[in-house]
Amino acid sequence: MYFILSVVALFLLSACADGVTGSSQQNELGEPYRVALEELISTDTALNENMEYISLDFDKGLPLKDSDKKSIEDYLHSKYNVKIYNLTYEELIEEGLSEQSESTLKGILLKIEKQEKQSDNNIAIEVSKYRANEGALSAKITLTYEEGKWKVATHTPTRES
């Protein structure tokens, strides 16, 4: 009898622990941001040529935890094999991470400007990519959570130069 109660108690504790510690990609904010940034990086790939780094400039008002940011940084570093910074445009210039012409960066600056949660399964994220005054773009990317992962539903350019 004690054995059966112990097994049932162990099973219930295990189920409760999974509910508390387990997290789905739907609830991890880093994942939709990563997908949106990847979509933007793959747009106008000429801006990516010979990039020495990627700098991520996250708007202070975004609900991203440090672990979400780290997850995005780790993904981009492993995929593109470049240094990842968390610097603004001005800070990149100050650090000497631009070409002779200060308006042209040696890498790309990705900025997450804002997000709008439309429902539990839909989120719109405004992102921009900058390399030079004549090499920049921004977009509103709407993502949908389907079949266990975030997917791009729409990609609406908002500015290109």
Global pTM reads 0.79
With CA atoms as reference, report the closest residue to 29 among 158, 106, 115. Answer: 115
Residue 24 has pLDDT above 60, yes or no: no
**Residues sharing a CB contact under 8 Å with residue 160, sequence separation 6 or more, in sequence order:** 44, 136, 137
Residue 14 has pLDDT above 50, yes or no: no
The domain segmentation of the chain, as residue ranges, is 25-160
Instruction: Give the tokens for residue 111.
Output: 């900025």
Gyration radius from the chain CA atoms: 20
Angle between helices 30-41 and 66-80 (to 10 degrees): 30
pLDDT in tens, 75-112: 999 999 999 999 999 999 999 999 987 789 999 999 98
Contact 141, 113 (CB under 8 A): no
pLDDT, position 113: 85
pLDDT in tens, 60-73: 778 788 899 999 99
H-state helical runs in the chain: 2-21, 30-41, 66-80, 89-94
pLDDT, position 108: 97
Residue 5 has pLDDT above 60, yes or no: no
pLDDT in tens, 99-155: 987 789 999 999 988 888 888 899 999 999 999 988 899 999 999 999 999 999 999
Beta-carbon-side half-sphere exposure of residue 7 (alpha carbons within 13 Å): 4
**Residues sharing a CB contact under 8 Å with residue 34, sequence separation 6 or more, in sequence order:** 71, 72, 75, 76
Residue 25 has pLDDT above 60, yes or no: no
